[in-house]
Chain A
Amino acid sequence: MQPIVQPGMQPVATTFFFYFLSGLTLLSGVLVITRKSPVHSALALIFGLLTQAGLYLMLYAPFVAGVQIILYAGGIMVLFLFVIMLVNLERSQKEEQFNKQWLIGLLAAIALGALFIIVYVKGKSFFPVGIPQPIESNNTQQIGVMLYGQYMFAFEIASLLLLVAIIGAVVMAKKRI
């Protein structure tokens, strides 16, 4: 996948950055699921989200990277940290962390991974081969045109979804309705 380079987004040391960023993302994923304290897991997840934004930048998707940093790392994770602070989790940190059927869960996940590998190896010939698109320098403008043109309906439904989520969260967390 040799990209056709236009001025403005020069690739610099692509291989190194890919292995570096994806290694950090996977490491943070492992830390999320193995830490005892939820705050440490949240910190690891924030780090993983930021390195994933770096991976999006490497895929020439700057707008999605920006949205990931603002919404995911700066919004959703703040919400998680608030709830972790409100829900006093001292007692649960001294209890057993993994549940009783952890072995079956692990085997099921490994089976899922094996399924992915089999699908990729056997089924790759079924799908058409894609051609790398030329890199545009106005990524944001084109995404905006698509969002407000072709995906307008989905955009409006997403705003309704957010309204429902706001009302739902407020109702769930109130002491007296």
Chain B
Amino acid sequence: MLDYITSYLGSNTTPGQAGNVFWALVYIMVVFGGISVAVMAMNWLERKALAHFQIRLGPMRVGPHGLLQPIADAIKLMTKEDIIPSEADKFVFWIAPLIILCASFAVYIVVPFGPTHAITDLNIGILFMLGVSSLSVLGVVMAGWASNSHYPLIGALRSSAQMVSYEVAMGMAVVSAILMTSLHGLGAYGVGTGTSGTGTLSMIGIVQAQYEQQVWFLFKFFPLGFIAFGIFAIAMVAETNRAPFDLPEAESELTAGFHTEYSGLRWSLFMLGEYAAMIAVSSIAVTLWLGGWYRPFANALTGDTWDLVFSLFPGFTFLALAVIAFVGVVRMPKHPYFRVQTIGLAGFGIVLGLIGLILFAPPVRDRIQDIFWFVAKVAGFMYLYIWYRATFPRYRFDQLMKVGWKVLLPIGIGVLILTAILGVVL
């Protein structure tokens, strides 16, 4: 038993490929815990960032600068009364949020946090991710239907029509990125003979192809990679029903759309599923176009000194966060009512600083590189989501469908054809 556990530690594949069930379960629990914490952090960040965009402060009371607000929200949602509409189909009403949750979380099996830091590496990785994330449409439709009232039904029909439409555009963009994995040649236009590229659908293979072609697919065949990335970035916002495409669930439009009749813990499952889906499609975008877990300039600036410089980034990031926390401590009002908050924020700053110092230690520094760069890129996308919500007005539903079918899909097909032509010619 013990050598079953330790036999994996020396290998250089993912636990799923090595067939090691124990480590696969460990990775699954780590990813599940990490995503749940990330969803809570995202909730806090959204409220604070939106507030600062609108020149107000956001939650400030619950913890220092509202840091404990997500916990208070979770307790509130868990203690609310669970209301089921009278004629609603109880089984379907119960299972709809579970389907969305399971579909959003099952995607993380193939998300690559590093060359061996994934739960498994299916050789149909990207196909699996697209397919399973399209199962959440079923949950939306069933949630709207089971609520037995017309606002949720219309909201569910609109939301699922939108999600299905933008999945097509997403698919076109993804296929043009997959085409690029089969190219030889180095650099942005792939001239010359480089590695022999074998096209692959596996997520780790796509990132490796970007490393071997020495260019992020964002810059490949410029501007084609850029346009494909843009199509995916727009389609992924529409796919997860976020602003500016959030007509089906905006509160001023359809009284919260398909999750109107859900209260308390069931509604929090919807929110959890939505944020998890946001992180999942962001990680698809990072893997396909932004070079996955590789640090910036992984091929251009090589050598031990550059590796050292870039490996100091995680520690400095956490130290910078600790400095911001201490600045907040200094600026706290000097009133006895604020003593607990000041102590809490100082403690939080000390914890961040300690994490930063740990990340400077050489053994940790080498291992944390891949995960840090991947998470940093995904965090950038999360901030973009919040920025979009604060900045853009909402699309009307027919405008939304027109953009999906008449603008994004033709551009996607055009990019695909041009990428294929350039790939054959060059």
- Do A and B contact each other directly (Cβ–Cβ < 8 Å)? yes
Q: Mark B6-27, 1 if CB is under 8 A from A, else 0.
A: 0000000100011101000000
Residues of the B chain whose Cβ atoms lie less than 8 Å from the Cβ of A65: 124
Question: Is there contact, CB below 8 Å, between A12 and B19?
Answer: yes
Does B73 touch A at the CB level, under 8 Å? no
Residues of the B chain whose Cβ atoms lie less than 8 Å from the Cβ of A74: 131, 134-135, 137-138
Does A7 touch B at the CB level, under 8 Å? yes
Interface class of chain A by DSSP? helix
Interface size, chain A (Cβ < 8 Å): 30
Question: Is there contact, CB below 8 Å, between B164 and A40?
Answer: no
Interface class of chain B by DSSP? helix
Question: Is there contact, CB below 8 Å, between A66 and B134?
Answer: no
Given contacts A40-B91, A66-B131, contact A78 B21 (CB under 8 A): no
B197-242 CB contacts (< 8 Å) to partner A = 198-199, 201
Does B265 touch A at the CB level, under 8 Å? no
Given contacts A46-B138, A73-B135, A74-B134, contact A66 B127 (CB under 8 A): yes
- Cross-interface CB contact of B157 among A40, A63, A77, A82, cutoff 8 Å: A82
Q: How far is the CB of A66 from chain B (nearest CB, A)?
A: 4
Does B366 touch A at the CB level, under 8 Å? no
Question: Is there contact, CB below 8 Å, between A37 and B19?
Answer: no
Question: Is there contact, CB below 8 Å, between B127 and A63?
Answer: yes
Q: How far is the CB of B357 from chain A (nearest CB, A)?
A: 40
Does B132 touch A at the CB level, under 8 Å? yes
Q: Mark A17-59, 1 if CB is under 8 A from B, else 0.
A: 0000000000000000000010110010010000000000000
Does B251 touch A at the CB level, under 8 Å? no
Q: How far is the CB of A41 from chain B (nearest CB, A)?
A: 12
Q: Which residue of A lies closest to B171 (CB)?
A: A70
Docked pose: A10 CA to B201 CA in angstroms: 19
Does B130 touch A at the CB level, under 8 Å? yes
Question: Is there contact, CB below 8 Å, between B92 and A39?
Answer: yes
Docked pose: A40 CA to B94 CA in angstroms: 13
Residues of the B chain whose Cβ atoms lie less than 8 Å from the Cβ of A81: 138, 141-142, 145
Given contacts A10-B19, A12-B19, A139-B123, contact A66 B128 (CB under 8 A): yes
Does B160 touch A at the CB level, under 8 Å? yes
Does B153 touch A at the CB level, under 8 Å? yes
Residues of the B chain whose Cβ atoms lie less than 8 Å from the Cβ of A92: none
Does A97 touch B at the CB level, under 8 Å? no
Q: How far is the CB of B17 from chain A (nearest CB, A)?
A: 6
Q: Which residue of A lies closest to B156 (CB)?
A: A85
- Cross-interface CB contact of B141 among A12, A62, A78, A140, cutoff 8 Å: A78
Report which residue of B95, B141, B160 has the largest number of chain A beta carbons within 10 angstroms of its beta carbon. B141
Given contacts A81-B142, A139-B123, contact A70 B92 (CB under 8 A): no
Does B332 touch A at the CB level, under 8 Å? no
CB within 8 Å of B: which residues of A? 7-8, 10, 12, 37, 39-40, 43, 46, 62-63, 65-67, 69-70, 73-75, 77-78, 81-82, 84-85, 137-141
CB within 8 Å of A: which residues of B? 13, 17-19, 21, 89, 91-92, 95, 122-124, 127-128, 130-132, 134-135, 137-138, 141-142, 144-145, 153, 157, 160, 164, 198-199, 201
5 residue pairs A–B, Cβ–Cβ below 8 Å: A8-B123, A39-B89, A73-B131, A82-B141, A85-B141
